[in-house]
Amino acid sequence: MTKTLYLLRHAKSDQSAADTVKDHLRPLAPRGIKAAQAMEAYLAAHRIAVDRVYCSTATRTRETLDLVRDGLNSPSVSFRDKLYLAAADDLLAFVQSIPDAIKAAMIIGHNPGFHDLALTLTSRAGAGQAKALDKMRTKYPTGALCVLTFNVNSWKKVDTGLGTLTAFVRPKDLKNG
């Protein structure tokens, strides 16, 4: 049995709002909206199916979810405050707490935690994913999606170096992204 983890970093936020709006409330920028719409098309085209989405409570993550949701298979959604700007160690603990009935989970969150977690969990690239792994090691941009598989039967067993990168997709890799 395998578990699949989708790490979707929120799309580009509106930096011009940084001086007037608290970070947690910062919305997406027009460029971020366009990127999230491109990611929604990618998810739909690749028939990405997740059992549950866990989403940070930040405005930019919620807006990203709203824009990509139609590309998924109508999973249940849980909003979690602890995912807001979470560090890699906290994210790993969260992943390990996912109920085992869930085979595929998506987390929508933030850097640097996502980048650090993806690098920590990834031991190798799947078939044809060597370049994607190099891109991920270099940068985990806004709107990017990392897909990791684990040959485990329990999320509790997900740990350092056990993941295989099966995809790393950046908005700029997509048409209209």
Provide the 3-class DSSP secondary structure of residue 111. coil
Name residues whose C-beta falls within 8 Å of residue 139's C-beta, 6 or more positions apart in sequence: 115
User: Count of CB atoms within 10 A of residue 42's CB?
Assistant: 20
* Dist CA 172 CA 38 (whole Å): 9
* Dist CA 64 CA 28 (whole Å): 8
Q: Amino acid identity of 100? A: D
pTM of the model: 0.95
Q: Could you tell me which CATH number the domain at 3-173 has? A: 3.40.50.1240
Closest CA to 88 of 163, 12, 25, 166: 163
| Contact between 60 and 22 (Cβ < 8 Å) | no
107: burial class by Cβ within 10 Å (0-12, 13-18, 19+)?
A: buried
Each residue's pLDDT tens digit, 110-144: 999 999 999 999 988 888 888 999 999 999 999 99
| Domain segments of the chain as ranges | 3-173
Each residue's pLDDT tens digit, 55-91: 999 999 999 999 999 999 889 999 999 999 999 999 9
Residue 13 pairs in a beta bridge with 28
